[in-house]
Structure 1
């Protein structure tokens, strides 16, 4: 499979080197003490890089007695940190690696007496290199640091044996640049960025944040940030929290069409603050793959081509815009992932359909009315006051519809914006006198204006309607109520139900363990569904 190759954008990390102790820090100090600063250059991947070594005040305190706990003598009254900066010599000057060389030892403190090295620092004397890079492939960053060191006569071997246990990646991003005339579907109201936010919001066991800023122009700055739980909703085999972004450079509107910055970026970036795990530089391949797959999936979900050229080499209209660092090259990829938003949408629709099919009590209806009207978090007590219910009745009602709402610390909200839309449709249908529970649910689904329906789920709903089947999923064990059987045996009906159930992505084992209620010529019966394909017994 061919697809456009994304380009690296921002990158931040801490690289820790311990084999040479404080050697890199002392070496930089000697060079700067002798010259004030040091300059040089090197060649890498056909480009010339300009290098500067300089210093800044650190705010760190010298070790007590002038000696580190490992016995290294530090004869400085004031400690400095050293900036080793390398920038590609081109017109843009935005392909760069900035490395801040910092000392580390047991018990390192700031001048104000605060601990600097983390409490579990067990490496002893070492050097931390705080890295800020732009438009450089993640695996090339360390090579650039080594070449930059050599260019100013600092031994490159100081940066050759990185300690992976202590080194940490804090930020990374990859992007493509789209033509502004075609990028609208990415940030549209029904586009992938908005849908990710609206489908996954309010699930308080994860993190979700959406920003839609059109102050300068339409699509100026649209982002959604998803924690690892929500990322897995879209990409089941991804684990890294990410921000998905469509944005323009400031004042892009004033630039001519042939200027790259007149066109927006679509970007995915790692959000290290959104989880309790840690990425190491050794995880670069996984990180790059997940970010690239996220960008391509966003473009694909928006209905845009994921490769710049057709197979015959002819462009199918302008989609991608090259800039100084994004070349819009076509590369071979093993896959282009879907966002799986249809599955998320289907699961949330099923929640509403199931709850409505089971019927709602007056207190549950009133609770939903308040939640839809409020548009945010309210307390059960507020719902009770508004509708003259006892608070305990409201709490019991909310527990019965827990799949549609989230409750936390005295407040309650609908599970997502999409669920809210479904509920609004159901409430409108109820106001018009549609009282049949399954009919109300079906009307809510049929009348919804949405981009994509889960056809298999709709077929399951239609099958249940046409055969008078009601499925109660609220208990641990499913209950399937079939009513009167006419012209078809129980086992045939259960077998047909199993086909629709399984095709809609539901768990066949759960249906197999369900209890069915029905009536035939001999009267009412209760049987385990497994009997339809194992010869099980009638329970009643």
Structure 2
């Protein structure tokens, strides 16, 4: 199984339903842990004033964590039940922060920034819950229970429940109450990221990069939730993000189904940091978005959710020509919350669908444009200029056509016009842009646009042949970088043990590139770093293998001498044939 980069966990918001038996839905521990927390307040007594809030230290994930207990008013009415003996209803908070984190300030946990840490909030629940006499909408399981919300960042999300139990034990509250959270326990927020060097991340937030193109190509013209933000005022790529709703997620990566945000961003004031500090360099993050995902994502879905978010990150890197393994030197190794390493967990890597989607939409526009009737053009211009959603009936009234005529237009222009829930819209932002181009240009430029689109369609049809090149790039962590001093620079993250291995690698790169990308390698530079730190750059991959070169002849002589030293048969059997074509750049 191929190795791929393990992404870093960032923010998480998970709510555990505790106190209801997970199999038969009857009250298990009910409000017992809540009563224990209320007793903690009473037991602490006057010390709230003299000593401050209760604090404890715990050991978790091999680190020492500071914790703090607090409470606040909930706004809920006391439960009208004989078993509820409390005069007021409180929410309880447990703050926690890693004391071993480089961001720890030494303050009490509730006062610390908790960059690596967070909050556990405990809320009571029961049937008929009210606030100021008004009913509060919460799940009704026929008995009391507690809602335990964990909001945290920068440590593995799968450890959230373990943390809850560790904190509760520290305050004398039995962790067994939290052993079996109800299956309705769910995820409200989940995010993973990678941090790239500042000069490497440009392809991600470029106008033709995956963030912008996902918004342009797969989001509807008006339906659903559309959001794309580009803020480059402080630095290029300062905040560039797009949201992809759940029904469109599968168009980005087949099989995906979660609404998510793709985001490239820097900290609030990036100019305050130096190049040897992690925040000087940007993050690329993908976060699950509850607001644009119809289904509820359960705690039991955590592994699948993590896989989908990480696959989105890795595929976006791949589509940009950036490496997707830890051996690459494009990722920042001094991020305090991320250990750069590979994982052998299964991660789906797919061919970038965006060029094909773009080509299909351009082709569809081109195909239908020349066949448009006068009514088609009227409806199209209405959709291009109208500020809101348009129903077929409204379109009929505004264009002076019958409802049946408008329905005929919808059927004929399938692929350009989407009709859902009695409303019409253009299929995507890309379709809108293509139609606008033709409305504004038309005339002589139209045939030129047809030819250009046809060429792009042919390129997309040949995209499948690039699989071998994609596999090679993943295997050796090769990033493809556009540079002013060459056509392309191939930066190899894998570090060959010596020049012989490097030479063999270069031969493989050249052969695969010529077979699956383009036949000419002139102007294609390759940068390789050996295991001893020596960095070599080939400034012309084509010339690097010419036997007539003087440099080649010198290397041939060196290799002849090397053959006298090594047992060549043993060398070949070990999988390292003599490399006889090394040329330092």
| TM-score normalised according to structure 2 size | 0.67
Q: Deviations over 1:168-201 (max 9, x none)?
A: 2111111111111111111111110000000023
Structure-2 separation of matches of 1:131 and 1:117? 20
Alignment of 1:490-505 (within 5 A): none
Structure-2 separation of matches of 1:418 and 1:370? 17
**Which of 427, 438, 444 pairs up with 1:415?**
427
Does residue 234 of the first structure (1) align with residue 252 of the second (2)?
yes
SS at match of 1:86: strand
Does residue 105 of the first structure (1) align with residue 126 of the second (2)?
yes
Does residue 159 of the first structure (1) align with residue 159 of the second (2)?
no
Alpha-carbon distance change, 375 to 330 in structure 1, aligned in 2, over 3 angstroms: farther
Structure-2 separation of matches of 1:154 and 1:289? 34
Alpha-carbon distance change, 206 to 410 in structure 1, aligned in 2, over 3 angstroms: closer
Structure-2 separation of matches of 1:63 and 1:27? 17
CA deviation after TM superposition for structure 1 residue 271, in Å: 1.0
Residue 572 (structure 2) aligns with: none
Residue 44 (structure 1) aligns with: 60
Structure-2 separation of matches of 1:155 and 1:344? 55
Q: Deviations over 1:256-298 (max 9, x none)?
A: 1111111111111111122331111111111111111111112
CA deviation after TM superposition for structure 1 residue 246, in Å: 0.8
Q: Deviations over 1:475-533 (max 9, x none)?
A: xxxxxxxxxxxxxxxxxxxxxxxxxxxxxxxxxxxxxxxxxxxxxxxxxxxxxxxxxxx
**Which of 387, 401, 413 pairs up with 1:391?**
401
SS at match of 1:278: coil
CA deviation after TM superposition for structure 1 residue 455, in Å: 2.8
**Which of 138, 146, 166 pairs up with 2:157?**
138
CA deviation after TM superposition for structure 1 residue 456, in Å: 5.5
SS at match of 2:69: strand
**Which of 61, 74, 85 pairs up with 1:58?**
74
Alpha-carbon distance change, 38 to 383 in structure 1, aligned in 2, over 3 angstroms: closer
| Structure 2, gaps ≥5 residues long | 20-27, 105-114, 464-585
CA deviation after TM superposition for structure 1 residue 382, in Å: 9.6
Residue 503 (structure 1) aligns with: none
- RMSD, aligned CA: 3.1
CA deviation after TM superposition for structure 1 residue 33, in Å: 1.3
C-alpha contact 1:17 1:162 (8 A) present in aligned 2: yes
CA deviation after TM superposition for structure 1 residue 398, in Å: 5.0
SS at match of 2:338: coil
Structure-2 separation of matches of 1:95 and 1:322? 16
C-alpha contact 1:352 1:441 (8 A) present in aligned 2: no
Does residue 445 of the first structure (1) align with residue 453 of the second (2)?
yes
Does residue 209 of the first structure (1) align with residue 227 of the second (2)?
yes
Structure-1 separation of matches of 2:137 and 2:154? 30
Structure-1 separation of matches of 2:71 and 2:35? 12
Structure-2 separation of matches of 1:169 and 1:139? 11
Does residue 352 of the first structure (1) align with residue 365 of the second (2)?
yes
CA deviation after TM superposition for structure 1 residue 345, in Å: 2.1
More displaced 10-residue stretch of structure 1: 52-61 or 35-44:
35-44
Structure-1 separation of matches of 2:433 and 2:452? 9
Residue 220 (structure 1) aligns with: 238
**Which of 42, 67, 92 pairs up with 2:103?**
92
**Which of 443, 447, 465 pairs up with 1:431?**
443
Residue 11 (structure 1) aligns with: 12
Alpha-carbon distance change, 63 to 203 in structure 1, aligned in 2, over 3 angstroms: same
C-alpha contact 1:174 1:267 (8 A) present in aligned 2: yes
Does residue 192 of the first structure (1) align with residue 192 of the second (2)?
no
Residue 534 (structure 1) aligns with: none
Q: Deviations over 1:11-38 (max 9, x none)?
A: 1121111121111111111112111442
Residue 83 (structure 1) aligns with: 93
Q: Deviations over 1:433-465 (max 9, x none)?
A: 86xxxx6774251477x9x941359xxxxxxxx
CA deviation after TM superposition for structure 1 residue 247, in Å: 1.0
C-alpha contact 1:104 1:128 (8 A) present in aligned 2: yes
Does residue 116 of the first structure (1) align with residue 127 of the second (2)?
no
| TM-score normalised according to structure 1 size | 0.73
More displaced 10-residue stretch of structure 1: 185-194 or 373-382:
373-382
Residue 34 (structure 1) aligns with: 43
Residue 295 (structure 2) aligns with: 277
Residue 261 (structure 2) aligns with: 243
